[in-house]
């Protein structure tokens, strides 16, 4: 049986990017360059009474008339053990889309990859990253209990 090459599902990718744009707009609102917002995702104490709080953090890195660059990170109880998820997301206001441009300090994701490859990216890596962002933001919108905006130092 011959293996067929993965074909990028552009319609699904664009739909995900459009949905993420709307989710991010709800979370960042009218924040300006340098501002940060932290959204608490829960504060559950373990048996020893230690807090297991985690938070979704949004930081506006750059703001221009047609684009905004947002850094999305999460903090939690395992921060000292494993690296927390970190993404940079480009919002394109003219087309109303948000695209992951950086994940865990890795940039320039292609629409498709041959598999296997040296970096072990999945054939649909770009779509998976944007889906992950969507799930992350949807969780923050559904379960976030507090938010505040602070100026960057």
* Window from 3-17, 31-45, 129-143 with minimum mean pLDDT: 3-17
Summary mean pLDDT of the chain: 80
Q: Are 17 and 101 in contact (CB under 8 A)?
A: no
pLDDT recorded at residue 43: 61
- In a domain, residue 97? The reply is yes
Question: Would the pTM of this model clear 0.85, i.e. be above it?
Answer: no
Q: Residue 40 falls within a domain, yes or no?
A: yes
Q: Which domain holds residue 19?
A: 10-143
Look-up: residue for tokens 């087309």? 95
- 41-91 pLDDT per residue, tens: 876 545 555 556 788 999 999 999 999 999 999 888 777 777 788 899 999
The total of structural domains in the chain comes to 1
- Contacts of 102-106 with CB under 8 Å at 24 or more apart are 103/129
């Amino acid at each position: 049986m011959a293996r067929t090459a993965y074909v990028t599902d552009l319609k699904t990718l664009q739909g995900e990017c459009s949905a993420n744009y709307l989710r991010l707009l709800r979370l960042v609102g009218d924040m300006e360059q340098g501002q940060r917002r932290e959204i608490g995702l829960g504060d559950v104490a373990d048996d020893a009474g230690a807090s297991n709080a985690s938070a979704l953090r949004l930081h506006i890195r750059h703001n221009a008339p047609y684009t905004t660059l947002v850094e999305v990170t999460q903090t939690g109880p395992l921060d000292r053990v494993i690296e927390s998820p970190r993404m940079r997301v480009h919002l394109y206001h003219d087309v109303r889309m948000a695209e992951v441009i950086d994940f865990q300090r890795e940039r320039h994701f292609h629409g498709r990859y041959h598999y296997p490859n040296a970096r072990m990216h999945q054939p649909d890596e770009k779509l998976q990253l944007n889906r992950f962002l969507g799930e992350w933001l949807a969780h923050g919108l559904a379960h976030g209990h507090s938010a505040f905006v602070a100026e960057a130092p």
